[in-house]
Amino acid sequence: MKGKDARKLIVSFFVTVCSFMALVISAFSLTTTAWFTTILNFNTSMAASSISNYYAGGTGTESDPYLIATPRHVYNFSWLQNSGLYPSTAKTYFKLQNDINMAGTLTGFVGNTSGAVPPIGTDTYPFYGNFDGNGKTIKNLWVSSDPLDWKEKPMNFTSLNVGASIGFFGNIGQNADGSVIGSASHFYLENIEITNKVANSHVGIVGGLVDGFLQAVGVKNAKISLGSSAHQTESEYVLIGKLGPNVEWVDVPADDPGGNLIIDPNNPSNLFTTINYPSVIQVPDSLLGRAYYIGTLTMTSTNINASNSAFLKFGASVTVDPNNNQVIRTDAAPLTTITASNYQNLVAEDYWLRTRTVLNSGRARSVMFGYGTPIPSVNAQGQFNNAVALPAGAFGQDAPRNTIWFKPLVGGKSALSFFRSNQGGDEECISVWSFLRVNGNVTNLRETRFAIIKGTLGNRQAIYFDFIIPQAMAAAGYEFLIGTSSYLPATSAGFFYLSLSGTSEGGGGGNSQIKGVDFTYYTNAGTLEDLTPADYVPKKIHLDFDGVYSGNAYFNMLDYPNNDGKVYFYSEPAGFVINNTLTGTVGVKENSYSTTKFPPRQQTAP
């Protein structure tokens, strides 16, 4: 090699090393802000008419969205969004044109392993656009808050503050007057890794902070990495880090300690079966320690279809009276048939969805309390007769046999429903009992008796009540039983559904919504589960964490033919705690990491 060429090579190498060291030093000095030299020839200082050059086509309008078709377009989408190029005063539209595999892309200077992209949308520049996933999948994607993971970076960027919202979408927001709201829908993330090293942050696989619309987004095999240095971070749902003040998660799992408590014998993932005395079973997918089936309870299964059955709404609300017994006759108020055109004004959405799954299956399950079973009663010592002890961890002491016991933390309007399998007698009754414990003794035992009258509720029909538990009763610690009535106990009618709705973490119920955002799996057709149907029922799993943590967490579902409806998760080290807020029948914590259950993200090109 000639001396002049050698000197050029040495100078070039020296400049490269200095540039890299400047990047490293600055990255360690600022956690959320990266200062860097130009590595990739990518100019974000451009006129709007030039942006289309960075996509497969489109102009960013609703009728002509920017088309994202390659890994490079995903990269462009992230960096152009985070440059503040897209306005907050009008929507910019994007569409995923095809499946994209990010393995082996954005490799930077050396090697062939994938580099990361920053979250799409920062706290400084939230995503206000519309992202139509078109049912496509982005797989083997790495999203990171750490500038050292971004092996390729645009020119003309002097810094990037990723903020405290970390996820595939960092921050989906809306402008000050709510006239422009970010939205993303109908896509899948497979083998995705989210790295968050930002202190005092919130992280979610799909979104870090969501104050806009999200619908039909599936996550298949995901990893959240917090790095090796512990820092304060939280995730309210793992799928979503934090809900904004203006968003409502309409099908949020019934999970928060002050909110929904669901007793649903017809849940397809946990169908009720007969429970014999003295068994006590935690109600699946409901709040831990707050609802139990107390044997003996018998399952009755009835053949139904749309032509021979009906679901009816009772025309008056029923409020529990802590001091008096009540009788609610089904002929005391008008009954309205619940239909697709009126259900939103009549019943809870979860109830409507359950009626659809029951009709589709052709079977309705109801819980029977046993004819001739003693009614709940109290002996001279202030204890229940025929009492069965509740398990350790229950928020109660015991309950009479042949009942469903529950204890809400908050009051509110409930959805209560009974199902009549055949015509039965002229009148038959099911009761909800309420009581209070004082110094371990049962007091204030009261009965709200529901009298089902022949001619109002017929064969293969269900009735729905707005059942209100006063907040004062919940605050005082009242407990409740569904069971045998003191008068004409039912022989053909049984319990069908209860959903207690109080305070919910589902969000503010504002001008934007989340629906159908869930973990998913491959079906027997070789495709990922469809999350778009209006009657899609979420898997009722709520995983979260909040603490000073480092390490990794993994989440996945098994595919056909091994799919069992479970969401498996694992975190390491042991101090990194993932809370499984529901009963554990859907969420399953693994004791060790397995590449079979949690396949690593593919980093090199296939």
Specify the long-range contacts of residues 87-92, CB closer than 8 Å, at least 24 apart: 87/128, 88/126, 88/128, 88/175, 88/180, 89/175, 89/179, 89/180, 90/180, 91/62, 91/128, 91/129, 91/130, 91/180, 92/60, 92/66, 92/128, 92/129, 92/130
Q: Which of 120-124, 155-159, 375-379, 453-457 has the lowest mean pLDDT?
A: 155-159
Single out the residue of 289, 601, 330 nearest to residue 451, CA to CA.
Answer: 330
Residue 306 inside a domain? The answer is yes
Rounded Cα gap, residues 196 and 193, in angstroms:
10
Rounded Cα gap, residues 81 and 54, in angstroms:
12
Q: Are residues 184 and 76 in the same domain?
A: yes
Residue 601 inside a domain? The answer is no
pLDDT of residue 549: 95
Residue 595 inside a domain? The answer is no
Rounded Cα gap, residues 507 and 90, in angstroms:
25
* pLDDT > 90? residue 524: yes
Measure the CA dihedral 379/383/388/393, to 10°.
170
Q: Which two tokens stand for residue 5?
A: 């060429």
Rounded Cα gap, residues 482 and 409, in angstroms:
17
Q: Are residues 198 and 80 in the same domain?
A: yes
Q: Which of 10-24, 116-130, 350-364, 550-564 has the lowest mean pLDDT?
A: 10-24
Q: Are residues 127 and 146 in the same domain?
A: yes
- For residue 152, the Cα-to-chain-centroid distance in whole angstroms is 34
Rounded Cα gap, residues 419 and 367, in angstroms:
9
Burial track 73-92 (b if 16+ CB lie within 10 A, e otherwise): bbbbbbbbbbbeebebeebb
* pLDDT > 70? residue 9: no
**DSSP per residue, 98-114:** S-EE-TT-S--SS-SSP
Q: Are residues 403 and 279 in the same domain?
A: yes
Region class of 565: left (phi > 0), else alpha (psi between -120 and 50), else beta: left
Number of structural domains the chain divides into: 3
* pLDDT > 50? residue 332: yes
> Is the separation of the CB atoms in 171 and 202 below 8 Å?
no
For the four alpha carbons of 93, 99, 102 and 105, in that order, the dihedral sign comes to: negative
Query: How many other C-beta atoms lie within 10 A of the C-beta of residue 249?
Result: 23
User: How large a percentage of the chain has pLDDT more than 90?
Assistant: 65
- For residue 510, the Cα-to-chain-centroid distance in whole angstroms is 18
Q: Are residues 397 and 512 in the same domain?
A: no
Residue 323 inside a domain? The answer is yes
Q: Render pLDDT for 238-261 as a digit per residue (tens, 0 to 9).
A: 999 998 878 878 777 654 333 447
Out of 439, 466, 500, a domain closes at 500
Rounded Cα gap, residues 285 and 266, in angstroms:
12
Residue 12 inside a domain? The answer is yes
Owner of token pair 């009298």:
451
**DSSP per residue, 121-162:** S-SSS-B-SEEEEEEEEEES-EEES-GGG-----BT---EE-
pLDDT band at 413 (very low <50, low <70, confident <90, very high): confident
- DSSP character for 395? S
> Is the separation of the CB atoms in 482 and 449 below 8 Å?
no
Measured CA to CA in angstroms, residue 405 lies from 101, 102, 280, 394 at distances of: 50, 51, 10, 10
Query: How many other C-beta atoms lie within 10 A of the C-beta of residue 511?
Result: 15
Q: Are residues 240 and 279 in the same domain?
A: no
Compute the C-alpha angle 601/564/501, nearest 5°: 100
SS3 assignment, position 7: helix
Sequence-ordered list of residues with C-beta below 8 angstroms from that of 551, at least 6 positions apart, any chain: 225, 226, 228, 571, 572, 573, 575, 576
Q: Are residues 491 and 520 in the same domain?
A: no
Burial track 283-299 (b if 16+ CB lie within 10 A, e otherwise): bbbbbbbbbbbbbbbbe
Q: Are residues 45 and 6 in the same domain?
A: no
Q: Are residues 485 and 531 in the same domain?
A: no
Residue 225 inside a domain? The answer is yes
Residue 374 inside a domain? The answer is yes
Q: Are residues 388 and 447 in the same domain?
A: yes
Q: Which two tokens stand for residue 594?
A: 């397995």
Q: Are residues 322 and 447 in the same domain?
A: yes
**DSSP per residue, 484-501:** E-SSSB-SSEEEEEEEE-
SS3 assignment, position 71: helix
Q: Are residues 523 and 475 in the same domain?
A: no
Residue 19: domain span? 1-30
Residue 248 inside a domain? The answer is yes
Out of 500, 528, 548, a domain closes at 500
Element (DSSP H or E) covering residue 25:
helix 3-29
- DSSP character for 37? -
pLDDT of residue 8: 40
* pLDDT > 80? residue 113: yes
Q: Render pLDDT for 474-503 as a digit per residue (tens, 0 to 9).
A: 878 899 999 999 999 999 999 999 987 543
> Is the separation of the CB atoms in 479 and 214 below 8 Å?
no
Q: Render pLDDT for 140-195 as a digit per residue (tens, 0 to 9).
A: 999 999 998 998 888 766 678 899 999 999 999 998 878 899 999 999 999 999 99
For the chain, what is the largest distance between any 2 Cα atoms, rounded to a whole number of angstroms?
108
Out of 500, 523, 542, a domain closes at 500
SS3 assignment, position 471: helix
